[in-house]
Structure 1
């Protein structure tokens, strides 16, 4: 994937660059996949330091912890997960997390499909509109 094909926020670079090397590699790949979900996706920083990827609403955020990295996927609760990507947040009414530890492989086609569904839901008005709550 051509990583120069999207505009990078230097604050996201700073967040990733401060992580241990294995998390840097993982976060850079997750960043590329988020942007591959839709060329109009924009990256930014929210909540002071967290990288967010947005398009007509939040799509996902990167959350690095001591021993893992979570893409926090917004509206993941209304996206089909037949491959079992979601590892936590099952009780959350909309968002889910997908946890990765050092050495874990990313099922890139499956994650990309998942993120594309989130983007499609955002373009359709978001989870409230989809669930008829507006």
Structure 2
């Protein structure tokens, strides 16, 4: 099974709100950078473009979007709400019913790709 199929499987297996949230985040990631590569690492969905960009993992009460180089990114909309003391990473924890600022999240994804040298600076 290739990584995209494994991500499809994960989404299908999540019968509660987390499945649609993972699908929505995946769609935004792919829209933000059509050249991004889907991978399956550490038993989770990962996206890369000239280096690791982000991962989306599921937990009992949250979906976590981890940015591997998040500490180096500007976050003008203050999306990061987890891992704020980590040396390199930053994360966004989404909970049931949370709104997603799609435009700001796409900007953050593009900034992460640009940080890796794989895209235009935003």
- Verify same fold: TM over 0.5: yes
Q: Partner residue of 2:76?
A: 82
Report how far residue 37 of structure 1 moved: 1.7
1:39-94 Cα offsets, whole Å, 9 max, x none, are 110111001x2000111111110111001101111111111112110011111111
Where do residues 28-67 of structure 1 align in structure 2 (5 Å cutoff)? 28-47=23-42, 49-67=43-61
Which of 3, 13, 17 aligns to 2:12? It is: 17
Contact 1:37/1:119, CA 8 A, preserved across alignment: no
Larger radius of gyration: 1
Q: TM-score, normalised by structure 1?
A: 0.82
Which of 96, 116, 122 aligns to 1:122? It is: 116
Q: 2:50, 2:15 → 1: CA distance?
A: 32
Equivalent pairs counted in the alignment come to: 116
2:105 is aligned with 1:104: no
Q: TM-score, normalised by structure 2?
A: 0.90
**Residue 10 of structure 2: SS of its match in structure 1?**
helix
Report how far residue 21 of structure 1 moved: 2.8
More strand by share: 2
Q: Partner residue of 2:21?
A: 26
Query: CA RMSD of the aligned region, Å?
Result: 1.2
Q: 2:4, 2:57 → 1: CA distance?
A: 16
